[in-house]
Amino acid sequence: AFLDLTGHNKLEGIWKGSTVLPCTYVPVKDFVQQTLTWTVLRDQSSGTVFRRDDSGDHVLLSEYRDRVSVLKDTPGNVSLHILNLEVSDRGTYTCQVTWKASNNTLMAKEITTKVEVVKVAATKPIIRASELGPTFPAGARTSLTCVANGSPPISYRWFKSVPGGKALLLSSQAELAWDSLQPSDTGKYYCEAENR
């Protein structure tokens, strides 16, 4: 497999998240990369998302401006990084690389990746403690962090259950921290994760 591109033929990205469309090759010493282009075919429209040539890096479709990039000093890795995925980003992406051989002939290869963008509900959160809990000495500093996956942004809320009453809302951050734990902090804590 001489100067072959490798990648994925299908990829699922999470709405509002980021993704990487892999496109890599093993550099060969007498072949110099001349151009890299990433194009997209969506429904009936197509266009060039990203182009790298002698004059630098260019994002040619305005809806991708400030959202796409290719790593700079990684020979052979020309994967496309996309931030803040929109549903409209779904389509078929083609990575095309041309190389110039030492005898000045040109060679080109391309691979395609079909991209789907999915909306993912927040998962049931897990709680991580800064130290091994669940029992801590009085006066200790500690924190609990609520962690969930899904389409960003994810918002978090922390509650403490009150005997015979409604749960008490403590925080709207992912992390609940104590500088100095008191015996009165003993109790049952809950976290909630929510997205759109």
For the chain, how many structural domains are there in total? Answer: 2
Does the model's pTM come out above 0.85?
no
Q: What is residue 134's predicted lDDT score, i.e. its pLDDT?
A: 72
Instruction: Let me know whether 114 and 130 are in one domain.
Output: no
Distance CA 139, CA 85 (A): 45
Q: What is the structure's pLDDT at 50? A: 98
Q: Which amino acid is at 135?
A: T
Write down the pLDDT at residue 39.
Answer: 97
Same domain, 15 and 53: yes
* Each residue's pLDDT tens digit, 57-79: 999 999 999 999 999 989 999 99
Are residues 113 and 28 both part of a single domain? yes
Let me know whether 28 and 51 are in one domain.
yes
CA angle 98, 5, 38 (to 5 degrees): 60
Contacts of 48 (CB under 8 A, 6+ apart): 37, 38, 39, 60, 61
Residues of the chain scoring pLDDT < 50: none
Per-residue pLDDT, 164: 85
Give dist(CA 137, CA 135) in Å, integer.
Answer: 7
